[in-house]
């Protein structure tokens, strides 16, 4: 994570929680979002015109709560797949007269895979056929045992249509947010995530962002993904203009060069030049990553690290009949290699679907199919998002494959950490030592033993190692941001003025 700023604990203040509403179609997500929006305490704004910008904030008990205003888990999944984690709490809506349905289960799988706490809103309790107890017992079978039955999941009974229980729901959100202890530092440059973006005829590229940390201000120079911008205007869904947006606030911004993607992370920079370079370097990296992703077809690449240091292999498992699924689950559970853990994110009978691939993409899982196949459309989706699908027709091959991968993982693993960036400003040629590139560290630091990537006009032109690092005539071990220095690269004599040098070190990842 480039330019990570460590916050001073005394600068940290409470920030408003960010909520996503999920659930089965027609269970009342949109109605609930509407009722909550209308519940906001905003004197003088009653009946005010609202516009959909993808997120809004309400005030309850003097505290703000931010809602992502796109019901369903498609957006949530897409954002997670892009690396964004923009939800603190998921509200799972279940209609009391209809009970748990396939998309209810999908939604809770997504929420669980992301580790976000869940509040269940049992909706439509105004209906005569409403049966909240049924919902609770159905969901208990999915690990969401209600608090009133001794479990851990808060449940709230509501009627989105008749506006019953809305305050209770907001109370529970604030309570849970309090326990999550959400903090941010309003004093630092802002960063956050894009929720929606589009091209507006009059205003140009427009994006709704949620500020997760720092304060976003008019005039701020920002990089979103690989897009550069300078904040021209900020407004909320009530068309109120802002000059500053505090942590947790959703705002619609203008002033961008291009339309970013939902799920892109944005960051404020203090130096315009560095911002432009970063956006260029990002474009280069993105192109590189895409080709890497297309190559990454080994099981090893699918492992993620868990908080407790265990390596986890996430699997989406599909099979032709329930019997084979059960047999496979049994075998996977038995795999026992120290430090490793197989986690079945989702399993089910039937062809490999788009949902399977989306979930796999969001949770960095591999899709394993037993006697089933994906359609061509699903296959091409998997290719485009870099999800691996492995097909089997012999049960033991699956466990064999996994064990092989687990053993491969016992080798030391290295990860690359970017430590800094420099710009080449002048070239000096010496008869004895060749060309030294007079450079300037724009960001971080450059170490003598660094690996370097040469980026020219946004394109990676060379990767290699430094062969010298000098301050004046002296060889040095490290040069920091704001200093001029000289460098040369092993087996590469083709540096040009304006080249960006990105330095990284390799660190052994603890297994």
Residue 316 annotated as part of some ligand binding site: no
C-beta of 92 vs 182, nearer to ligand GDP? 92
C-beta of 70 vs 419, nearer to ligand GDP? 70
The dihedral over CA atoms of 437, 439, 443, 446, expressed in degrees to the nearest 10, equals 50
Residues 6+ apart with CB under 8 A from 43: none
State both tokens at 156.
């709230």
Binder among 15, 29, 112, 447 for ligand GDP (CB under 6 A): 29
Identify any residues that bridge with 391 across adjacent strands, giving them in sequence order.
Answer: 369
C-beta of 33 vs 454, nearer to ligand GDP? 33
C-beta of 161 vs 385, nearer to ligand GDP? 161
Residue 31 sits in the site that holds ligand GDP (CB under 6 A): yes
C-beta of 71 vs 255, nearer to ligand GDP? 71
Residue 71 annotated as part of some ligand binding site: yes
Residue 124 sits in the site that holds ligand GDP (CB under 6 A): yes
Binder among 59, 63, 78, 126 for ligand GDP (CB under 6 A): 126
The residue range among 120-128, 193-201, 314-322, 478-486 that interacts with ligand GDP, by the rule CB under 6 A, is 120-128
Q: Among candidates 209, 231, 202, which has minimal Cα distance to 218?
A: 231
Q: How many residues bind ligand GDP (CB under 6 A)?
A: 16
Element containing residue 70 per DSSP (H, E): none
C-beta of 80 vs 124, nearer to ligand GDP? 124
Q: What are phi and psi of 129, to 5 degrees?
A: -85, 5
Name the minimum Å distance from CB 178 to ligand GDP.
27
179-111-192 Cα angle (round to 5): 70
Q: How far apart are CA 114 and CA 22, in angstroms?
A: 14
The residue range among 157-165, 228-236, 241-249, 493-501 that interacts with ligand GDP, by the rule CB under 6 A, is 157-165
Q: How many CA atoms lie within 13 A of 271 on its CB side?
A: 9
* 8 Å CB contact between 395 and 331: yes
How many secondary structure helices (H) and strands (E) does the chain include?
10, 29
Residue 161 sits in the site that holds ligand GDP (CB under 6 A): yes
Binder among 89, 160, 256, 381 for ligand GDP (CB under 6 A): 160
State both tokens at 198.
């589009």
Name the minimum Å distance from CB 29 to ligand GDP.
4
Q: How far apart are CA 374 and CA 439, in angstroms?
A: 52
Residue 101 sits in the site that holds ligand GDP (CB under 6 A): no
Q: How far apart are CA 367 and CA 390, in angstroms?
A: 6
Q: How many CB atoms lie within 10 A of CB 303?
A: 21
Name the minimum Å distance from CB 90 to ligand GDP.
14
Q: How many CA atoms lie within 13 A of 137 on its CB side?
A: 3
The residue range among 102-110, 154-162, 284-292, 357-365 that interacts with ligand GDP, by the rule CB under 6 A, is 154-162
Give the three-state DSSP class for 357: helix
Give the three-state DSSP class for 316: strand
The residue range among 21-29, 101-109, 136-144, 408-416 that interacts with ligand GDP, by the rule CB under 6 A, is 21-29
C-beta of 102 vs 464, nearer to ligand GDP? 102
Binder among 101, 127, 217, 230 for ligand GDP (CB under 6 A): 127
Residue 71 sits in the site that holds ligand GDP (CB under 6 A): yes
Give the residues lining the site for ligand GDP (CB under 6 A).
23, 25-31, 71, 123-124, 126-127, 159-161
């Amino acid at each position: 994570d480039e330019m990570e700023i460590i916050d001073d604990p005394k600068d940290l203040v409470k920030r408003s929680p960010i909520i996503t509403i999920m659930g089965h179609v027609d269970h009342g997500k949109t109605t609930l979002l509407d009722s909550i929006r209308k519940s906001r305490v905003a004197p003088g704004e009653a009946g005010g015109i609202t516009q959909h910008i993808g997120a809004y904030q309400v005030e309850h008990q003097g505290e703000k709560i931010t809602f992502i205003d796109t019901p369903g888990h498609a957006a949530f999944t897409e954002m997670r797949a892009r690396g964004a984690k923009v939800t603190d709490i998921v509200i799972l809506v279940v209609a009391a007269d209809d009970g748990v349905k396939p998309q209810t289960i999908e939604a809770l799988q997504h929420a669980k895979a992301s580790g976000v706490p869940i509040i269940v809103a049992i909706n439509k309790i105004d209906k005569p056929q409403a049966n909240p107890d049924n919902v609770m017992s159905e969901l208990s079978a999915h690990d969401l045992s209600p608090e009133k039955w001794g479990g851990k999941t808060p449940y709230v009974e509501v009627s989105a249509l008749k506006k019953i229980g809305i305050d209770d729901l907001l109370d529970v959100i604030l309570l849970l947010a309090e326990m999550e202890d959400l903090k941010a530092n309003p004093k630092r440059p802002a960063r956050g995530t894009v929720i929606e973006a589009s091209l507006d005829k009059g205003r140009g590229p427009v994006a709704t962002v949620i500020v997760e940390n720092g304060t976003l201000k008019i005039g701020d120079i920002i990089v979103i993904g690989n897009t550069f911008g300078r904040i021209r205007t900020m407004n909320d869904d009530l068309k109120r203009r802002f000059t500053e947006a505090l942590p947790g606030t959703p705002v619609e911004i203008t002033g961008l060069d291009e339309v970013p993607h939902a799920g892109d992370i944005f960051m404020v920079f203090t130096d315009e030049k560095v911002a432009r370079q970063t956006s260029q370097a990002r474009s280069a990296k993105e192109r590189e990553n895409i080709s890497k992703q297309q190559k990454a077809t080994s099981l090893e690449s699918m492992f993620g690290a868990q908080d407790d240091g265990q390596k986890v292999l996430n699997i989406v498992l599909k099979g032709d009949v329930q019997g084979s699924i059960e047999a496979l689950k049994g075998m996977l559970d038995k795999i026992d290699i120290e430090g490793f853990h197989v986690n079945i994110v989702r399993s089910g009978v039937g062809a490999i679907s788009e949902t399977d691939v989306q979930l796999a993409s969001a949770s960095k899982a591999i899709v394993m199919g037993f006697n089933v196949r994906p359609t061509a459309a699903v296959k091409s989706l998997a290719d485009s998002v870099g999800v691996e699908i492995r097909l089997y027709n012999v049960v033991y091959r699956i466990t064999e494959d996994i064990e092989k991968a687990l053993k491969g993982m016992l080798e030391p693993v290295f990860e690359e950490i970017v430590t800094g960036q420099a710009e080449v400003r002048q070239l000096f040629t010496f008869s004895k030592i060749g060309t030294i590139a007079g450079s300037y560290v724009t960001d971080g630091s450059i170490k003598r033993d660094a690996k370097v990537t040469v980026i020219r006009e946004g394109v990676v032109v060379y990767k290699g190692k430094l062969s010298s690092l000098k301050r004046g005539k002296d060889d040095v071990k490290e040069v920091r941001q704001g200093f001029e220095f000289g460098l040369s690269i092993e087996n590469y004599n083709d540096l040009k003025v304006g080249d960006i040098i990105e330095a990284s070190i390799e660190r052994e990842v603890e297994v």
